[in-house]
Amino acid sequence: MQIGIFGLPSSGQTTIFNALTRGHALTGAASAGQREANLATVNVPDGRVDRLSAMFKPRKTVYAQVQYLDVAGSVPGVAVEGTTFNRQVFSKLATADALLAIVRAFPDDDVFHPLGSVDAARDLRVLEDELLLWDLAMVEKRRERLKGELAKTSLPKIERETRVAEDSALARIQTALEAEQMVRSVDLTPDEEKQLRSFQFLSGKPLLVVVNLGEGQDLPPGLKARGPKTQVLGLRGAIEAEIAQLEGEDMQLFLQEYGIQEPGLNRVIRASYDLLGVQSFFTVGEDEVRAWTIPVGANAVEAAGAIHSDLARGFIRAEVIGYADLLAAGSEAAARTKGLLRLEGKTYIVKDGDIVHIRFNI
Ligand SMILES: Nc1nc2c(ncn2[C@@H]2O[C@H](COP(=O)(O)OP(=O)(O)OP(=O)(O)O)[C@@H](O)[C@H]2O)c(=O)[nH]1
Ligand SMILES: [Mg+2]
């Protein structure tokens, strides 16, 4: 699961990347001219995993993970098809599962703003427009090509039909984009979605907007991203990047001093995980307590497959205890005695937080 960070130059993308990943990537002037992207994997903070780990005292505790990509060096003024973004930067975002837009709200005369003034709502509009334009250029190019292919009388019937279907879906997408709506807003059938997946539309990806706040600043009211599958959060980037470098007690002291409940990066990481449309189930034991990532709506066989393909192939049954049930019972044995352990079959839809043991035979 990869989340691509993007934003206007100097909005604090790398600062927030460092806060999220406890990283040390170069920021500001020091990163000028850096072309390669920063990439890091982080654990998704989850109090349930902490509690399960306290209960089972396993040798190993494994959290769910997400990966952040910080496309450094988004050179301003390099025009691509009328956009201010560097083509290379945007094409790196194509493989991401979701996007994280950084929008600057912090005032600081020493930090240059490419548009000349600090205005978070305007910047968000600009960024969303860039996504739209990028997708629109792709749609127009493809439809032009399809038109040429469909004009050929020699095209076999079956191929003609798939192309007609593709063009009809793309036409709806084009209409939406021209009306400044995101691809996310367009209703597509599962077949169409499959057919169009390879386009990797940027405005089709879930979007988390993080407003980079200055000290003492609150989230500007009314700031909203377009379409479904979006969320807006505020984060004090510079402070959070400092907090992220601290350990244990030092971190607690710092949080108290600033009146912060929990590091903002926890909120952002969890929100990005949720936006991906995924959830966690857990496996537990003396050896390992582990969170596994599955799409919301996945069934027991798919969950087994997330652990290992053999478990899906030889699936017999899933033994399931709800997270709240296990906690209330106090131990796995007690949950068993109380009849809180259920045997579920292949089609069981796994719930967020389920504790699962797969019985299999191969
Ligand atoms: N005052 C203040 N400065 C910040 C904040 N976040 C970032 N900065 C500063 O803004 C400058 C740019 O930050 P970066 O994180 O490098 O910005 P970027 O978006 O990654 O920039 P490019 O990768 O060059 O496009 C640096 O000098 C940071 O120290 C903030 O919350 N408050
Ligand atoms: Mg940067």
- Could you give the dihedral angle defined by the CA atoms of residues 24, 77, 5 and 7, in that order, rounded to the nearest 10 degrees? 100
Counting every residue, how long is the chain? 362
Evaluate: CB of 7 within 6 angstroms of ligand 1.
yes
DSSP 56: H
Full pLDDT tens readout for the chain, 362 residues: 899 999 998 999 999 999 999 888 888 888 777 777 899 999 999 999 999 999 999 999 999 999 999 986 454 444 445 555 667 778 889 999 999 999 999 999 999 898 889 999 999 998 999 899 889 999 999 999 999 999 999 999 999 999 999 999 999 999 999 999 999 999 999 999 999 999 999 999 999 999 999 988 999 988 999 999 999 999 999 999 998 888 888 888 888 888 777 888 888 988 988 899 999 999 999 999 999 999 999 999 999 999 999 999 999 999 999 999 999 999 999 999 999 999 999 999 999 999 999 999 98
Identity at 94, one-letter amino acid code = A
Phi/psi of residue 339, nearest 5 degrees: 70, 25
Distance CA 186, CA 228 (A): 10
**Could you tell me the distance, in angstroms and rounded to a whole number, from the CA of residue 40 to the centre of ligand 2?**
14
- Coil, strand, or helix at residue 231? strand
* Closest ligand by atom to 78 CA: 1
Distance CA 344, CA 172 (A): 41
Q: What pLDDT score was predicted for residue 207?
A: 97
| Of 288, 281, 326, 268, nearest in space to 44 by CA | 268
**Dihedral sign of CA atoms 56, 60, 65, 70 in order:** positive
The pick from 21, 34, 111, 210 for probing ligand 1's pocket by mutation, whose C-beta has the most ligand atoms within 8 angstroms, reads 111
Phi/psi of residue 100, nearest 5 degrees: -125, 110
- Coil, strand, or helix at residue 309? helix
Q: Is 58:284 a contact under the CB 8 Å cutoff?
A: yes
Evaluate: CB of 111 within 6 angstroms of ligand 1.
yes
* Closest ligand by atom to 30 CA: 1
Distance CA 18, CA 265 (A): 10
CB atoms within 10 A of CB 27: 20
Q: What pLDDT score was predicted for residue 80?
A: 47
The pick from 10, 34, 219 for probing ligand 1's pocket by mutation, whose C-beta has the most ligand atoms within 8 angstroms, reads 10
Question: All domains of the chain, ordered by start, with CATH?
Answer: 2-45+64-117+206-275 (3.40.50.300), 133-203 (1.10.150.300), 297-360 (3.10.20.30)
* Closest ligand by atom to 111 CA: 1
**Could you tell me the distance, in angstroms and rounded to a whole number, from the CA of residue 258 to the centre of ligand 1?**
20
Evaluate: CB of 27 within 6 angstroms of ligand 1.
yes
Max CA-CA distance within the chain? 74
User: Structure tokens of 327?
Assistant: 């906690």
Q: Is 283:323 a contact under the CB 8 Å cutoff?
A: no
Q: Is 234:211 a contact under the CB 8 Å cutoff?
A: yes
